[in-house]
Amino acid sequence: MTEVYASSVIGAPADQVWAAIRDFNGLPSWHPAIAESRIEGGAPADQVGCVRAFRLKDGGFIREKLLALSDYDFACTYSILESPMGVENYIATLKLSPITDGGRTFAEWSAEFDCAPERAGELTDLIGNDVFQGGFDALKGRFGG
């Protein structure tokens, strides 16, 4: 099992950041690597079990399933169903915590997955830097940080 973790501080209250990211279909509005997204079957984008299918700007195609969503905890958990990355049993959680000092947000994004042992370092770097930190950097650009 390979694990990836990234965290960041975003310069806005957690409820404002959560409003931007809680839409499971909203990745193109805040993540710079995502070109387009749709929820399969017309399901609501906050319905646990819904599947988003999205295309990366580099042409890659990914399908993910929403496993949990909590407005109380500002957290969502999802799995990858289909991806060009070569990962299996991929489960990720994106969680926000309020920082009361200054009205900021502590953001954490973690994942666990299986992959070929020789690709673990490459995939950890790709997911941790390009996906997770890339998303945090975009949110910091939008909200401050």
Please state, as a whole number, how many other Cβ atoms lie within 10 Å of the Cβ of residue 74: 21
pLDDT tops 90 at residue 145: no
Question: What DSSP designation does 132 have?
Answer: I
Phi, then psi, of 32 in degrees rounded to 5? -65, -15
The pTM assigned to this predicted structure is 0.93
Encode pLDDT of 105-123 as tens digits: 999 999 999 999 999 999 9
Question: What DSSP designation does 135 have?
Answer: H
Phi, then psi, of 80 in degrees rounded to 5? -90, 125
Beta strands in 11-116 (DSSP E): 34-39, 51-56, 61-70, 75-82, 88-99, 104-114
Residue 96: the pLDDT is: 98
Percent of the chain's residues with pLDDT above 70: 99
Query: To the nearest whole number, what is the mean pLDDT of the chain?
Result: 94
**Backbone region of residue 52 per phi and psi (left: phi > 0; alpha: psi in -120 to 50; beta: other values):** beta
Question: What DSSP designation does 97 have?
Answer: E
Residue 144: the pLDDT is: 76
Residue 34: the pLDDT is: 92
